[in-house]
């Protein structure tokens, strides 16, 4: 099978981001069903797929990554090509389905695109999907640039069908969000295969699973044999002093730093072409492995009895870079040490992460800090309330963990009032089961649902609570109060977080309620889907007493003034950033913050 063996328009060159290239490759491969849950750095893949005609493919934002994979599995078993997309931690959510589907196979092409986040730019941890692929027994392809992202995605569907397996395409932040020119072709959708009517294969009861597992092992051997001569495995011959095994974006760094080295570029990190690796190792005096994050390749190569060196010289955490690769080769005695960096007498301006000016979460967490509760947080913009000045979140584990964490705190006898905070999209993602658990087990906790009517942290994507689908069509809107009542919650209040006094009083009432209480904080995000801008406020400098109460909001529109009061700086407001939410006016002790027209 040749990755290039398909029609191409000779002059059809497009500047594509890695995620856009993945989407283009899937569309050209004839994908008919696409599902995902948004999460950086994977979000743009499904957003790009949704730009293609609805007559070509069905695309949806799913409530979570497992649902997305289940949707794709159902489509593939029904005979059409399907794709699901997620970030690395999303694969944890979808893992239950993946492990079983590895036994079942694919029928029609089934591709999972998983985008890792080396360096933890926007995630709660740093994990390596290549290890997950080996665990599940499914192949994982690793493109190194946007052209390969497009090519490998197209190829992944063919591999899925030829070897009857789900296929993972692994991207990283650096690839997903880097733009380059890609040569593209035309859509070539294969005919639908119809449903695979074979319950002995598609129903994973123990008797069937015991028979299917050996087929997974047999499939692995066939894939490894195919990779010996496949275009995904590329031996670039060079200096025989040392040889480097690499792949993904690490390959580009190696080419930049050691252009004359002998390189084995692996387009698939699992399974590995054993014969090629042995021949490559024998061709040079030393064998090095350059890879980001875990020693996935190094461990497998060492298991073959080959003397590979890798993580002794290259870091196991964070992104690689040409500088780090050069330093690693120097530490191995294979390159000159990089020059010492020139010291720069520059002090960078401190830019702590803050919520947006007028963010509705500000009022909620300002009030939460006031009640001195033990707060279990979750994943979303509001996680920024873990740092000063709001500093009101005590734990953040993963998507949907806050309510379960709060139940555990209550069971452990925590003395403070216990509050779980969770965003609207996160509540629908994985917050409902733990809420049921809390009610069922009579936990004495308060749950605050932070409803800003959008999936804000990943760029303003819709979800079942927004009333709009991925393609912008009207959709049924989830009712959070009705959901809470349906699972047995009896104490529920809805409140506008811009009303700080009401929010504070409602939380005070909620925490004294015995059992599960729910506060729904309702106010749209100020940036998505449209930027909200009201009458800005201003500070009357003659009235400001520099009490700094307003600065406890952490609003980026609030700045220090050059004027002093008793040796302390007064406050001023950046009118361009202010949206007129009035939170600062509500907490001002001297009533000197007023709308600009009245200032």
DSSP assignment letter at 384: G
Multiple choice CATH, 537-598, 3.30.70, 2.40.300, 3.40.50, 1.10.260: 3.30.70
Q: Cα separation of 127 and 93, whole Å?
A: 14
Domain ranges of the chain: 8-227, 233-331, 360-522, 537-598
Q: Considering the chain, what percentage of its residues have pLDDT values greater than 70?
A: 98
Q: Is 221 helix (H, G, I), strand (E, B) or coil?
A: helix
What confidence tens digit (pLDDT) does each residue in 297-334 have?
999 999 999 999 999 999 999 999 999 999 999 999 99
Reported in sequence order, the residue ranges of 299-452 that DSSP labels E, i.e. its strands, are 308-309, 374-377, 395-396, 418-423, 446-451
Do 390 and 382 touch, CB atoms closer than 8 A? no
Is 347 or 332 the better-scoring residue by pLDDT? 332
pLDDT digits (tens, 9 = 90+) for 223-271: 999 999 999 999 999 999 999 999 999 999 999 999 999 999 999 999 9
For residue 336, CA distances in Å to 21, 124, 262, 325, 327 come to 37, 36, 18, 12, 8
Q: Is 4 exposed, middle or buried (0-12, 13-18, 19+ CB in 10 A)?
A: exposed
Per-residue pLDDT tens digits for 517-536:
999 999 999 988 888 888 99
How far apart are the C-alpha atoms of 34 and 49, rounded to whole Å? Answer: 8
The per-residue pLDDT for 252 is: 96
- Give the model confidence (pLDDT) of 548-584 as tens digits: 899 999 999 999 988 888 888 999 999 999 999 999 9
Task: Give the CATH class of 233-331.
Answer: alpha beta
The whole-number average pLDDT for the span 399-414 is: 96
Q: Is the model's pLDDT at 295 over the cut of 60?
A: yes
pTM as predicted? 0.92
**Residue 289, Cα to own-chain centre: how many angstroms?**
27
DSSP annotation of 66: H
Residues in binding site = 544, 547, 550, 555, 578, 581, 584, 588
* Residue list, annotated binding site for [4Fe-4S] cluster: 544, 547, 550, 555, 578, 581, 584, 588
Answer positive or negative: Cα dihedral of 75, 22, 271, 291.
negative
Residue closest to 402 by CA, chosen among 434, 424, 428: 434
Rounded average pLDDT over 150-177: 97
User: What values do phi and psi take at 217, rounded to 5?
Assistant: -65, -40
**Residue 504 CA to chain centroid, in angstroms?**
33
Chain-wide mean pLDDT for the chain? Answer: 93
Q: Name the CATH topology of 360-522.
A: Rossmann fold (3.40.50)
pLDDT, residue 10, reads 47
SS (H, E, C) 350-374: CCCCCCCCCCHHHHHHHHHHHHCCE
CATH 3.40.50.11540 fits 8-227, yes or no: no
Q: Does the CA dihedral 149-150-152-157 come out positive or negative?
A: positive
Under 8 Å between Cβ of 34 and 24: no
Confirm whether 8-227 and 233-331 share one CATH topology: yes
Beta carbons of 41 and 176 less than 8 angstroms apart: yes
């Amino acid at each position: 099978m040749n990755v290039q063996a398909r029609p191409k328009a000779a002059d059809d060159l497009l500047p594509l981001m890695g995620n856009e290239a993945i989407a283009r490759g899937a569309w050209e491969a004839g994908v008919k069903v696409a599902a995902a849950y948004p999460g950086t750095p994977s979000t743009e893949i499904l957003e790009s797929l949704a730009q293609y005609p609805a007559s070509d493919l069905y695309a949806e934002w799913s409530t979570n990554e497992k649902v997305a994979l289940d949707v794709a599995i159902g489509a593939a078993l029904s005979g059409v090509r399907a794709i699901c997309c997620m970030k690395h931690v999303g694969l944890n959510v979808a893992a239950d389905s993946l492990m079983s589907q590895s036994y079942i196979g694919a029928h029609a092409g089934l591709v999972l695109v998983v985008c890792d986040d080396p360096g933890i730019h926007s995630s709660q941890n740093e994990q390596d999907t290549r290890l997950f692929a080996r665990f599940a027994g499914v192949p994982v392809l690793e493109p190194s640039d946007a052209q390969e992202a497009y090519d490998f995605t197209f190829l992944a569907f063919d591999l899925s069908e030829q070897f009857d397996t789900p296929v993972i395409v692994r991207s990283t932040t650096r690839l997903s969000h880097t733009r380059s020119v890609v040569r593209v072709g035309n859509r070539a959708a294969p005919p639908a295969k119809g449903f695979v009517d074979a319950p002995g294969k598609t129903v994973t009861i123990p008797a069937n699973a015991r028979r299917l597992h050996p087929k997974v092992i047999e499939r692995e051997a066939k894939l490894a044999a195919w990779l010996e001569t496949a275009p995904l495995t590329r031996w670039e011959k060079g200096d025989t002093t040392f040889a480097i095994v690499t792949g993904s974006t690490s390959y580009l760094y190696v080419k930049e730093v050691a252009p004359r080295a002998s390189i084995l570029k692996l387009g698939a990190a699992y399974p590995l072409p054993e014969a090629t690796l042995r021949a490559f190792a024998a061709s040079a005096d030393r064998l090095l492995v350059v890879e980001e994050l875990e020693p996935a390749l190094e461990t497998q190569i060492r298991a073959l009895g080959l003397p590979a060196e890798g993580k002794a010289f290259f870091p196991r955490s964070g992104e690689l870079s040409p500088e780090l690769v050069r330093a690693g080769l120097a530490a191995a005695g294979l390159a000159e040490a990089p020059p010492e960096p020139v010291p720069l007498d520059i002090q960078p301006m401190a830019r702590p992460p803050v919520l947006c000016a007028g963010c509705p979460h500000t009022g909620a967490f300002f009030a939460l800090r006031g009640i001195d509760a033990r707060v279990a947080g979750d994943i979303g913009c509001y996680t920024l309330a873990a740092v000063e000045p709001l500093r009101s979140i005590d734990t953040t584990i993963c998507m949907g963990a806050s309510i379960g964490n709060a139940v555990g705190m209550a069971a452990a006898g925590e003395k403070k009032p216990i509050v779980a905070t969770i965003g609207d999209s996160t509540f629908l993602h994985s917050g409902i089961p733990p809420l049921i658990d809390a009610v069922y087990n009579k936990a004495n906790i308060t749950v605050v649902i932070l409803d800003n009517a959008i999936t804000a942290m990943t760029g303003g994507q819709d979800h079942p609570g927004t009333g709009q689908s991925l393609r912008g069509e009207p959709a049924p809107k989830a009712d959070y109060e009705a959901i809470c009542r349906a699972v047995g919650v009896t104490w529920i209040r809805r409140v506008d977080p811009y009303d700080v006094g009401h929010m504070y009083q409602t939380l005070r009432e909620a925490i004294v309620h015995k059992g599960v209480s729910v506060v729904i904080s309702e106010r749209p995000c100020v940036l998505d889907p449209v930027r909200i801008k009201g009458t800005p406020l201003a500070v009357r400098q003659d009235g400001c007493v520099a009490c700094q109460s307003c600065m406890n909001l952490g609003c980026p529109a609030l700045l220090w003034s050059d004027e002093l009061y008793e040796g302390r700086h007064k406050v001023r407001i950046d009118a361009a950033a202010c949206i007129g939410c009035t939170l600062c006016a509500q907490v001002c002790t001297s009533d000197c913050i007023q709308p600009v027209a009245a200032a």
